[in-house]
Structure 1
Amino acid sequence: MNFFDGIQYTLANDVNLFNIINMQICQVPTWYCMVIKEDGWLAQFPCSGGVLLISIIRRRNFWVMLSLDVLLLGLAYMGAYWLRFDGGLDREVLHAFWVTLGPLIICMISSFLFFDLYRGMWRYTSVRDLANVIKGSLVGTVLFVAYLAMFHHFSGISRAVVVADGVFTVVAIGGLRLGIRLYFHRDPEFLEEISFWKRKRSGNGDQVRALILGTGPSAERLLREVMTQADPDYKVVGLVDTVGTTRGMKIHGMPILGSIEDLPEVIPLYRADEVLIALSGKRACDIKTAIEKCTGSGIRFKVIPSITDRINGAVTDKIRDIQLEDLLEREPVELDMSDVSKDLEAKIVMVTGAGGSIGSELARQILTYNPSRLILLDNAETPLFNIDMELKKEARGTEVIASIGDTRSTKGLERIFKAYRPEIVYHAAAYKHVPMMELNPIDAVNNNILGTYKLASVSLRYHVRKFVLISTDKAVRPTSVMGATKRVSEMIVQSMNGNGTGFVVVRFGNVIGSNGSVVPLFESQIASGGPVTVTHPEVTRYFMTIPEAVMLVLKAGAMGKGGELFLLDMGEPVKIVDLARNMIRLAGLVPDKDIKIEFIGLRPGEKLYEELLIDGEGIVDTAHGKIKVYNNADGIDEEVLFEAVERFRLLVESSGDNETAINILKRLVPSYHIEEIGFVSIPGTLGASSLTESDAAHGEKKF
């Protein structure tokens, strides 16, 4: 299709090019798809400017915009004459005005088109748009001067008129756009005061009186949106800064009433119902301080999500309750995920334990990278059904397959691998509840060790390209059956690395909100009126959010070539008792007053402290600061390891003796000691888990 064919198609079929760009019209010639760029301009063909111009002038509001500009250009030109001749416009002056008015308008409009003054929406006029008005007026004036010099030699034309017209044009054209912007972002109360009659406002009568915590861009945008809504849910009574240095100043006419320290006095004085937290960046410390200052006041706290979370809607539509993640003092993780996209796109990917917290989030994030097939494996029917239904709604070209199966069944795994041929396997299926596994050691061995061994073996036979094991910080110097079995599973996959399959281990700590974690337990206890039970006043854990953990897992998986044990930086440790107090405050209650906290003692297998990374030989930094790698496969005696795996298999199939299973675990993992509670020193520098120096030095003990 050539240029003229494109013009004919556009006119004959009433095609609006901007609709094509917005994906509203799908059945268009390939010619269009070849020339449309991301920002809406056309390229590659000399005719592109013509097609774009046609698309612009076919918009109904273009003619309204053009008519207003033509009118203002005429008025500005007349004003320039009026100013130059002090209102004395004789016949000769008027003749010069009318003769040159048309060329002036042509020069100006041509310049305006060149500088895109008719592509923007005037209600969103920005400083950049006003700069384009100035540039367009300047270039238009230069074109007009060239016209006067060439065709009139400035005979009878005052140069002062041309200069004054340029100034008036900028004021008129820019003022129109700025006025429309101000109208659509007006303060209703101000307009009501200056109007000749009182308008009846359409309030719903149930507006929430709100304070905004923050004075940055997020707070300004929130305030502006609330003030411009016809029927807002909120009535903002003021703003509060984090430090108080801006006290007494105003944003859009709304006063800054003080700092976080002033909240206890400001809230009752202004009868605020809610505090809307609109802080730019991660400000967990400020959020916690605000909540602590207002404990017992009954005030509700809401938070404005990040720009990426609210990209598809208004700010006020995305206001949500504060979540525990908002109180974690962790910097937001920013990753270049291009290598992850390359690793997963158009691949066949399997996720085991897909119905669980980590497995389901893995499946969600993997789906965004458009694998050709996503296999969800789990032995729990209901959660597998739920994640299957969720992902099939979101799938765009990816075949989502839910497969009921068990990693402990070699025949079942063979059937699934033969049918679907996965290229990448993320192994998240495991028993993870520490106290429960203390009571059922043989089951932990069967699922965590033998299940991993069978899955890895089948992956080798079916030439899986990459196998990623999700592990835990409890595998470091374990004091529990669960931790010891996860350590052995790490040893298994690292020992099997090679033969065309890259085996990678990713280890991290606790994730907030996972099934069976302390957070749902505390929520349930708070809802029932308490008490909240904490094992020990000094017990600490590392926490990260599930999406953040999974994102780092995918990044580490893409980085891994085979044999690596990746360690995720978990940030600073959190005291569990502080976590409990924060959750009580989030519920609007007072710790130790409304809700009691009881200490019940450490449970079997639990540590007081989780391990930190102890720098030693084999620990290597990666390109990403939150991921380190420990190459420790040389410390594993494969003959002893697989002999133990065979003994575990025979044990499971026969008597299932728990004591024998624990004894084998102790020999395989020398740092595993049941009697140790975990009162250990923490000399490391990074909040992540690794093998201890003892493990690194001695390897794995033989029988």
Structure 2
Amino acid sequence: MIDSPDVFHGTSRYARPRTQRERVLLHWLWVATDLLLIALSAILVSFITERSLGWVSWAVLGGIAAVQMAVHFQRGLYQAVLRYVGIHELTTIGAGMVLGVICAVVACYFLNLPNTGDLGRVFLVLHAFTSIAALTGARLTHRLVFEHTTPRAGKRVLIYGSGSLGEIVMRELRNQPGFQVVGFLDVNVARHGQQVRGCKVLGDLSLLAGLHRDKPLDLLVIAERMLSQQALKQAFQLSMELGIQVKRVQGVAMGRGQQVQLQDLALEELLARPQRNLDRSMVRGLLEKRTVLVTGAGGSIGSELCRQIASAGAAHLVLIDHSEFNLYQIDGDLNAHHPECQILPVLATLSDRATLDVIIANHKPDIVFHAAAYKHVPMVEENPFLGMANNLGGFRNLLESCIAHRVPHLVAISTDKAVRPTNVMGASKRACEVLLQNVEAGATRLCSVRFGNVLGSSGSVIPRFLEQIRRGGPVTVTDPEVTRYFMLLHEAVELVLQAAVVAKHGEILILDMGEPVKIVNLARQLIFMTGHRPDVDIRIAFTGLRPGEKLTEELLLSDSEASTIVDGITIATPVHRDRCEVMDLVQKLLAACQRRDLDMFVRLTRQLVPEWKASREFSSFLEGHTDLFPTLAATTHGKPSTQSGE
């Protein structure tokens, strides 16, 4: 999240925090004021009731005041920030007076002082009311004077939401120099025209442009807890077009006055879709009290898979990752939050078939989730042998080991880049899908789940954009027309688990990614969210598509698909091929990777994945322009192929 909350604290009105000495002096000044007001109340009531006050009467009144002061100190009345005076302070004053009167009556009874020290019941009642009125009135007067004398010049603020949260925000902003609350907007038509503490509910969001045109607004504060996703997106988009900064209420801290915390909107809030109606009991039935193995457990998708699997009640969770640090991180996180699940971290690589056999034979997993892969397109494009060997070779080792040890279920994570791939990474993942659908699986049920980009995953554009914004720009986007599918990490993994429940053998299930998002719009939103103006404060630079990248991504090879019982999951039409041919191509392709034979690598990849179209840069390299991939050119054996792969 983009987390830089603004917290409005109780300091002096001149924006300088009071010193300890000043605070102590102020506290004792209010103690003296309260005692004086109690005494003046007694004199006023004695005048009204025509009753003279002797030393006994003053002694009784002094006892009442002492008890009242004790209650005030015990309940922290003199530590309260005066501009936040409310019900708590009023009830404290009332409770102190009532308790003081009760103690006085009881003491006079045991001391045989008649008529409560010659005061009488009428005097005590009137004195209690006048004292409470005087003490509370002094505090409310102080608050009103503070609110009306605080300078109103500053940021013009409109609050979206006129409920209790909006009222708290308005009250707090009014107490701060530098903010001028213009009014409220609200989706509830019944509230339009009403007033909240003298501030009018002007209407709904459709008035925002007109209000800004009449007199420019600086800040829109979202103070509506139940605001719909569509309304939130609409408010943000309209504010960005008008150049109005948007923040939402993160929380209200309780203490010495309420402290409102305002926070920038998170991109996840704008991209999130309505909650799906998912049957989570199916996932629990699949995983509860089972042994589950996850490859790539330390990655962004793998680690979230582990968290949700542990939450679903898995008894044993075997974590495989080749990164010691990532494995250490997820192991610590799972042990801290899921002590009931036995966590078994294993530092291993999928290229080591013998080690895989030992792990699977020892732990006997009921289900395996395969999330390990090289996924960064330009990196794999420049290192095709290692990329293909890791992605396809590692998957083949895992697949054969699971089949050999009769693992009941294997779920592989795929990508939208496997559809008509234009890069080696996509071709390697498509090759995995082809292998999965055309292997003799025995007792093992195999399936693959295909989806697009996951927001916030390692290597995502979001962290890179934020870092560029932090440095002052420019924010680099490859092409103004490039689009990508995005899904929230938690949502994607939840659907992967749902897919694992409903998938039949050999199926490729596709997650509903919603509508593709223009990357340039994503960049503009992030710039605006961080308080900058796109193309004014921070510019966007277009760098051109990187090797292997496409303008748009796809999720289907053809238009054919079938629905499932789970909302948001469909099934791609299977492509069946000769099993022996597929196995032979995979074996030869991995051998070509080991020999670093580029000519054979290209030929075999095209045979295994006919829809692969090599990127322009990769094709140019094959035609002899070796300056594009110097590392590959320096280590390739044999003469490069002249086939372009187009």
TM-score normalised by L of structure 1: 0.61
The answer for the alignment partner of 1:662 in structure 2 is: 602
The answer for the alignment partner of 1:292 in structure 2 is: 240
Distance in 2 between residues matched to 1:194 and 1:262, nearest whole Å: 43
Give the counterpart of 1:500 among 443, 454, 460.
443
Q: Does 1:359 align with 2:302?
A: yes
2:229 is paired with a residue whose SS is coil
CA apart distance, 1:226? 6.1
Q: Is the 8 A contact 1:260 1:289 kept in 2?
A: no
Which residues in structure 2 correspond to 1:205-604 (within 5 Å)? 214-215=160-161, 220=163, 222-223=165-166, 237=181, 238-241=183-186, 247-250=192-195, 255-260=200-205, 262-263=207-208, 265=211, 275-278=221-224, 279-283=226-230, 284-295=232-243, 299-302=245-248, 320-328=263-271, 330-496=273-439, 498-604=441-547
Q: Is the 8 A contact 1:444 1:481 kept in 2?
A: yes
What whole-Å deviation, never above 9, does each CA across 1:583-622 have from its counterpart, x for those lacking one? 11111111111111111111111111112547645x2111
Q: Is the 8 A contact 1:370 1:396 kept in 2?
A: no
Give the counterpart of 2:553 among 610, 627, 630.
610
RCO greater where, 1 or 2, for CA within 8 Å and sep 6 or more? 2
The answer for the alignment partner of 1:623 in structure 2 is: 565
CA apart distance, 1:562? 1.9
Q: Is the 8 A contact 1:542 1:574 kept in 2?
A: yes
CA apart distance, 1:236? 10
Distance in 2 between residues matched to 1:606 and 1:629, nearest whole Å: 25
Structure 1 residues not aligned, in runs of 5+? 1-122, 124-190, 678-703
Per the alignment, do residues 271 and 584 of structure 1 end up closer, same or farther by CA in structure 2, a change over 3 Å counting?
closer
RMSD: 3.8
Aligned length: 471
CA apart distance, 1:501? 1.1
CA apart distance, 1:553? 0.6
Letter in 2 for 1:350: L
Which residues in structure 2 correspond to 1:112-261 (within 5 Å)? 196-199=137-140, 214-215=160-161, 220=163, 222-223=165-166, 237=181, 238-241=183-186, 247-250=192-195, 255-260=200-205
CA apart distance, 1:355? 1.1
Distance in 1 between residues matched to 2:409 and 2:491, nearest whole Å: 22
CA apart distance, 1:507? 0.1
Distance in 2 between residues matched to 1:466 and 1:474, nearest whole Å: 24
CA apart distance, 1:498? 3.7
2:603 is paired with a residue whose SS is helix
1:198 is paired with a residue whose SS is helix
The answer for the alignment partner of 1:137 in structure 2 is: none
The answer for the alignment partner of 2:591 in structure 1 is: 650
Distance in 2 between residues matched to 1:542 and 1:316, nearest whole Å: 38
Q: Is the 8 A contact 2:284 2:312 kept in 1?
A: yes
Distance in 1 between residues matched to 2:368 and 2:158, nearest whole Å: 46
Q: Is the 8 A contact 1:285 1:329 kept in 2?
A: no
Distance in 2 between residues matched to 1:206 and 1:499, nearest whole Å: 78
Letter in 2 for 1:607: K
The answer for the alignment partner of 1:147 in structure 2 is: none
The answer for the alignment partner of 2:582 in structure 1 is: 641
Q: Is the 8 A contact 1:303 1:322 kept in 2?
A: no
Q: Is the 8 A contact 1:510 1:543 kept in 2?
A: yes
What whole-Å deviation, never above 9, does each CA across 1:259-313 have from its counterpart, x for those lacking one? 4455575799799766135352212531332431452x5x4512559xxxx9xxx
Structure 2 residues not aligned, in runs of 5+? 1-86, 88-131, 618-646
CA apart distance, 1:483? 0.5
Q: Is the 8 A contact 1:210 1:276 kept in 2?
A: no
What whole-Å deviation, never above 9, does each CA across 1:77-113 have from its counterpart, x for those lacking one? xxxxxxxxxxxxxxxxxxxxxxxxxxxxxxxxxxxxx
Letter in 1 for 2:228: G
Letter in 2 for 1:667: Q
1:346 is paired with a residue whose SS is coil
Per the alignment, do residues 375 and 239 of structure 1 end up closer, same or farther by CA in structure 2, a change over 3 Å counting?
farther
CA apart distance, 1:365? 1.1
CA apart distance, 1:222? 2.6
What whole-Å deviation, never above 9, does each CA across 1:605-662 have from its counterpart, x for those lacking one? 1111112547645x211122311012415x2221111101211332344x22234222
TM-score normalised by L of structure 2: 0.66
What whole-Å deviation, never above 9, does each CA across 1:408-441 have from its counterpart, x for those lacking one? 1111212222332211111010011111111111
What whole-Å deviation, never above 9, does each CA across 1:356-378 have from its counterpart, x for those lacking one? 11111111111111100111111
Distance in 1 between residues matched to 2:411 and 2:212, nearest whole Å: 53
Per the alignment, do residues 381 and 212 of structure 1 end up closer, same or farther by CA in structure 2, a change over 3 Å counting?
farther
Letter in 1 for 2:428: T
1:330 is paired with a residue whose SS is coil
Q: Is the 8 A contact 2:524 2:534 kept in 1?
A: yes
CA apart distance, 1:520? 1.3
Greater displacement, 372-381 / 282-291: 282-291
